[in-house]
Each structure stands twice: as C-alpha cells, then as structure tokens.
Structure 1
C-alpha cells in the first residue's frame, strides 16, 4: 500500500494498493504487445497525440499543479510553471522528433550506407518526487514519439501525480499500454528489470539507487541512463553584474525550496567582492515569502518529507560545528526549513562536499580563476556549473576546465528541451532531451548496400 501525504499540513491525500506479481507481469505484457503495434505507427500520428497531451496540460494546468503542490509541497506558482514546461517538451518533440530520427547517410565504399534509428521496446522510468510531472515528461515525450513505450515506477509520495499522468496520456488518445504507471515499491524494480520484455531503464535519483538499478540492468545487458543529482557551484567573479547576478543566484538556490538536482548548491565568490555580494544575497533572501504552498505569493514552501528537512538541518549544524558562520536561517519546524546561508565554508564541510537538498547554501571565497576552477571541481558530482562574469573570453577559456555536464555563463543551470541534459562523475551518465536524448533508447542500426 502506498500513501501520499500533504507535507504542509500532514493530511493524508490518497492510498494506493500495490500491484502483486501477477498484475505487474500482465502490465508489462500489455506494454510489450502495444510496442509491436506502436513502433509501426507514423510520426504524424504520434505527434498528433503528443500535441493533444500538450493541449490537455495547458487547459488544465491548475488541476495538475494543485496535485503537485499537495503531494510534495512545491509552491503553486512554481507547480504551474512545471506543468507548462511539460507542455513545452511535448510540443518540442511533436515538432522535431521526425527530423531528429531521420536516417543518417554515411559515405562509404557501398552503393548506399546509412544509420537508421529504431525503438528498443518497453522502457522503465524510475523517477523522483521533486519534479513529479517534469521528470516523467522529459522521459515520456521523446520516447513515446520515438516509438518506445513506457512503464513508470514513480516515488511513493507522488503516486497521485503518477496516476494523473497515465490518465492524461489515455485521455489524449494514446493507445492502451503506451504509458502505464506501476504502483510498486523499490523492492520490485529488480523483477521488472528481469522481465525479458523490458529493454532499458532510466533513473533519476540518488547514487545508491542508481548504482543498484544499473547493476541489475547490467546483469541482464540492458541499457541505462542515470541522472544522480549534483552539487553545482555558482561562481561569482569580481567583474560580475552584481545586481543581476544576486537575483539569479537566489533563484538558482531557492526555487522549488532548494529541492532540485541542478540547483546552485555551493556559492563561490571572489574575495574582492565577497562581503558586498553576501550582504546583497542575504537581503534578497529576506524578501522571499515562506508559507502555505497553495498561496500564490509563497516562494519557499516545505520540504517533501520531514526526514529530508532533518537531513538539511544536520548538514548545516555539522558545518557550523566545523567552523562555518551562520548568517541567516538555520531553524526547522517539521517539514519547513528556513532559507539558510553559511559563510566561511571550507571544502571538508558537509555544506560543501555533500549534496544539500533544501533551502540552504554555503559561501566559500576564492582569489584567482585557477582557485575557482579547483574549488568547483572538488566535488564527487559533475552535473553543471554557473559562471558569472562580464569577461566572455575568460568564460570561454575556463569552460573546458570544469568537470561538468554543462557550463552556463551568467545564468543558472536549467534543463531545456532543445539542449542535452545530464552529468558526469557520480552525477550519472547518458543524456536526456534534445536530439541527443531521444536517441538514447534507440537501436542505431547500420545498413549497407553493396
């Protein structure tokens, strides 16, 4: 049995009965049988249905946003933005997938040789709670349009969101079995991966979860894509546009109440401007409204579960015990944790070396470009980094030195359907989104005509 509970007020929202082994096998068989037909449908038909999904998302944005907010505490204005972004990714692939997957002609000794892109089959998606719609749609939109079918194992605390997504695809006209939600716990993921009809898996989550899923998939020689979080640095150089970049850094850290893989989690500021930037940063944070996530003016909501708030609380306190200075915040009440800033944070402290999944950030200073790069790369993660500087040549020179999946200059790291998204090191491997992402679960078939 799975239960979703409102983290703001503790009220129980929904109860879901888990699938037994027989029910789970039947759903996977339905998906497999649907794939045999779906892979032969035209791009025109798949795109038509995907545009209907986008239309449904835009027509009923508030309904879906309310479910997101109630289940995991995201402020309602940000939940609406999440739903709107899901519509965007559906429209993007409806308009671009056919071109992205067209045959690739290769000149060889043959009369004709080329690479075709063909769908693999049933793909399992193991998704987290922090973006309960977006995480699913950035998987589902490209894969369904590419001719694959999807089965979803969503986080247990956002199962209502998962159910609504399945109903949404059905309502838009996708044939039964194209997209199914599996009401199961993590302990049943191995049996799904052991099923011969499941050909690949994508997971967004923690390093231990990713390692376990990838290991099991590897036993059965099945393709994996992993996005395992990050500890992105926000690097502010002395020549940065202070007024603009303070706002960007606040948004990068505190949107979604800090519960984002690509959030800025380490603030590296050049020593010459550190005091000025810190004060401006703190002043801006004080303007953020905390409160009921259903209130349209709320920017800081609650964390999705109380244990998550406790984890942030411990990381902050342990860092203070190691010598960091508390500048603002630091208090917890249930699932709510105050927006928090620490200064004098050093690389051995939890606020620097661990992923902080909540509304707290540490400030570390640097003196030179080389030190900034060294500090940024001093992390097990490699999802993205933001550089703030007016010197474009400096940014171009430094960009190749960062061990990251993305470098954003004068902007927060964000996912965009038009660009590949993913990391290196313990942030995972493979790419989602863009023409790169849609090819991850395709058979790149070589054809050679003598």
Structure 2
C-alpha cells in the first residue's frame, strides 16, 4: 500500500520506517524543511534502538522517502497518517494548532479516496472534527479513523513490529478493511471500535500506567518507614496476574512526551464534563512530590545542598532515548539549584535544551560519570541507562569529594556501593541496606 505520514517525530518516523520495512511504500512529510533535509542526508534527529538500521535499509530500497510537499506525499496514497505533536497548552488542555494545520493541508492535497488515520494523541471527538474540516475543503470521498499509538520510547521499533494490540476506531467498513490490510503482516490483537472509544483508550491507558507508577512509589515510601524492601514487595504483588510486573519499579516518577501531557489533558477533559477523576488528579500531584522527596532526603544526608556540588547521572526521561521532555532530571536539577547547589551532569546521548533550568543556569555536560563526579559532594543516578548499572563504584568514589550516592532507580548493588566507601541511598529499602 502507499502510505503518507505527516510528522517526523518519534511516532511519525518510527511508524514510517516500520511500515516501509513490512513492505509498504511510505513518504514522510514535515513542515520543517531542515528536518527533511537532514533525513534525506541520512541524519536522524532522534535516538531509538533499531531505528537507524530500518531507516538505512528502507531508504536504500526506495520504500521510505521524505518531502515537505503534501501534494507529493498524498498523490496516490491509500492511507494518510497524522503523527504531529499535540503538546500541552498553558492551561493543561491540548494544543491542537499543529494537528489542525496538518488536517487542513491534507484537505487541500487530497485528490482521491484515502483513509486519514490519526496517530496523534487528541481529545475525544477529534476524528469527527477532523472529518468536518476536511469535508469543508474537499468534495471527494475519504474517511477518518483513530489509530492511537502505544510505542514505548526506547522500545518503539519493537513495539510497532510486535504490538500487543492495534486499535482502529472507525465509522466506515471500507476504512476498517484498509487499516486491517495495512497491518495484516503484524501479529497482535486487532481491536475495532468506534472512534471516540479509541481516542479515550489512549488517554485511559497512559493515565492508568502513570497511576501504577505512582502507586509503587507511594508504597516505597511506606516501605522505607516500616523496614520493608520495595523490590520484594513489587515482586510479590506483581506475581498476581491481575496486577502484573510491568510499571512496578520505584523511581523519580514519570516524564516524557506522553504521560504528563496526557494526564493533564484527561483532567481537563473531565473538567469540561463535570467529572472529578480523583485518582488521576492524585497521580499527577504524587508525581511532582516524588522528585521533591528525593532532594529532601539528599539534603538531609549531606547536611544541606547549599554550596555543594552534585552530579546528576542521566538527563533523558528514561534509558535508551535522547528525549528530555518533562524528564525527572530537570525537576531534580532545578530543586538542587533552588537550594543553592552547583550541578554537573552526564548522559550517554541526551542534552538539555536551553531555557529549562532555574534562572537560565548553564549546565555542564560532562563526558562520563567520572568526569561529572569529579569533586562532587553527592551524585544522583536519575535515568535507568544500563551503562550506569556497570559503573566502577570504587573509581566513582575516588573522584568525589563527598561520598553520597543516591540511586533513584535502584539499579545498583547496595553492598557493593558500601564496600566502595559510598553512602548509598535508594528508594523503598530498609535502613540496613544503606549507611543513612
């Protein structure tokens, strides 16, 4: 099938490359000409395991191409995916400006029947609204479906090619058939439902997972107080198939491009319809408190952060990605700065953009954990990169002026850390596991 993908961010680029890899002819469109030129030269703007290999293979085979022209991309296209950003507006609702611009451009470029499939995360009712926008500018035949994505950054290529489920929200048998043919080579459940249910499913899934993370963080706080081990507790409850093991790792809370904005959007949707959503609201508030609690504990451990040097290991919101959007590391660094600390950081691939830190602070991006830790009074392991699990802890300790290591991801062996002379702090462990 011939496919057009509007947007070359995480969702658009991964979706386009994967669809090309299963045999479809895909043209990706982006309004930013610089991004298209980079892609044409083989330069990827995102880090995602496995993506570069797919990108090279399918561009060389002629199945994957890039353009700024909607007309070129949509000519002969069977399916047009919308995969543009839908960030939070100032009030927590969804900023639909990029989506609306894409839909209007699609309407102007359509020249024959096509299915317009939305992958962007959008408010309930958007498919119907997009249908009306297109119909006002295009007199031909078309259908709009909702096809939400469920890609985990760091595992997006695998998730696309091996989906747990594919959801198609459709009001047209013809459009449904085309979407199912598009995905015929992919295993996983194909769930067909109405468009509003598909749109709400995306929000509900992210809010549920966010609340699950917050729950284990909340229980980890209690575990510290009563002398229990949160890893054992998570193993115990996760062995119940009704609960499952996923998303039961304590840490500094959730971030990234999906959970924060989608939880905010769900709350705003509930406000408009007079629904309270107390669990979702509590999850959002709890996420912010998780970061403050880490800095509070560090502050007590080192006798106050003011005037101290702190190294932060990890800037991406999770391992295996360079995405720093709403990363816990940003909040942790800002809390440290507000308490008077000096901060240096290291991440294998991620860098913080300017303007996200307190008072315009210029962060030093070190070349390794050991360089970042040079002369540090304390270190915070903030992102779950496998590289950090393999750190040489005696070497790390020798670089530092102090000895406090806060493992906010519970990646390290506490006994090894203490044998290396480190004051080891972690989340949800009894006091015998640390020196504090």
Determine if the TM-score, normalized by the shorter chain, exceeds 0.5: no
Which is richer in strand?
Answer: 1
Q: Does 1 or 2 have the higher relative contact order (CA < 8 Å, sep 6+)? A: 1
